[in-house]
A and B are shown apart, each in its own frame.
Chain A
Amino acid sequence: MKKICSLLMICCLLAGMLCGCGSTDSGGSQAEDGTTTITIWHDKEDAIIAVLEERLKVLAPEINIVFEKKSDLTEALKMVGNDPKAAPDMYFFAHDKIGVYAEMDILAPITDIIPKEELDQYMDSTIAAATYKDEIYQLPIYYETLLFMYNRLYMDDSEVPETTEELYAYMEENTKGGHYGFVEQHSTPYYAAGWINGFGGYILNEDGVPGLDDAKTIAAVEYHKKFVALMPGETEYATVNTLFSEGMAHSTIAGPWMIPTVRAQGMDVGVAPMPVIDETGTPIAPYMGVQGIQVLKFAAENKKDAVEQVLRVLMEPEVGVELAQASGCAPANEACYELDEIKSDEVVMAMKETAESAVPMPNIPEMDVMWTVAGNFLTDVNMSGKDVAESAADAQKEAEKLIESMQ
Chain B
Amino acid sequence: MNRKKKNTLFAYAWSAPSLLLILLIVIFPILYTGYISLTNMNVYHWNDYEIIGLENYKDALFVFDNGFIKAFLVTILWTIVNMVLQLIIAFILASMLNIRKLKLRNVYKTLLIFPWAMPGYVSILLWKTGMFNSQFGLLNQWLASVGEEPVRWLNSDVMAFICCTVVNLWLALPFMITIIDGALQSIDKSYYESALLDGATWMERTRYITIPMIRAIIAPSVVITVFTTFKQFDVIYLLTQQVGSKTGADIHTIMTYAYENAFITNNYGYSSAISMIIFIILILFSMVTNMKPKEEEGRA
Contact = CB atoms under 8 A, between A and B. Distances in A.
Q: Do A and B bind each other?
A: yes
Given A100-B266, A232-B134, 18 more contacts: A3-B10, A4-B13, A82-B46, A103-B46, A106-B46, A187-B246, A233-B247, A235-B246, A236-B245, A237-B244, A239-B129, A368-B264, A371-B243, A371-B244, A372-B243, A379-B248, A405-B265, A406-B265
Interface in A182-207: 185, 187-188, 190
B32 interface: no
Given A100-B43, A234-B135, A239-B136, A405 B270 contact: yes
Interface residues of B, number: 35
A158 to B, nearest CB: 29
A390 B293 CA distance: 48
Interface of A: 3-4, 7-8, 11, 78, 82, 100, 103-106, 185, 187-188, 190, 232-239, 242-243, 365, 368-369, 371-372, 375-376, 379-380, 382-384, 401-403, 405-407
A365 B43 CA distance: 8
Contacts, number: 108
Interface in B37-69: 42-44, 46-47, 59, 62
A82 B47 contact: yes
What's the dominant secondary structure at chain B's contact region? Answer: loop
Most buried by B among A82, A187, A372: A372
Interface in B2-27: 9-10, 13-14, 17
Given A236-B244, A237-B244, A383-B246, A104 B270 contact: no
Given A234-B133, A238-B129, A372 B44 contact: no
A401 B264 CA distance: 12
Given A11-B17, A100-B43, A234 B266 contact: no
Nearest to B129: A238
13 contacts: A3-B10, A4-B13, A82-B47, A233-B134, A234-B134, A235-B246, A238-B133, A365-B43, A369-B265, A375-B246, A376-B246, A383-B155, A405-B265
B136 A368 contact: no
CB-based closest 9 A-B pairs: A383-B248, A236-B245, A104-B46, A379-B246, A4-B13, A406-B265, A233-B152, A103-B43, A188-B244
B264 A407 contact: no
A384 B129 CA distance: 20
A4 B10 contact: yes
Given A233-B155, A407-B267, A104 B13 contact: no
Contacts of B43: 100, 103-104, 365, 406
Contact of B262 (A384, A405, A407): A405
Given A234-B134, A242-B136, A407 B244 contact: no
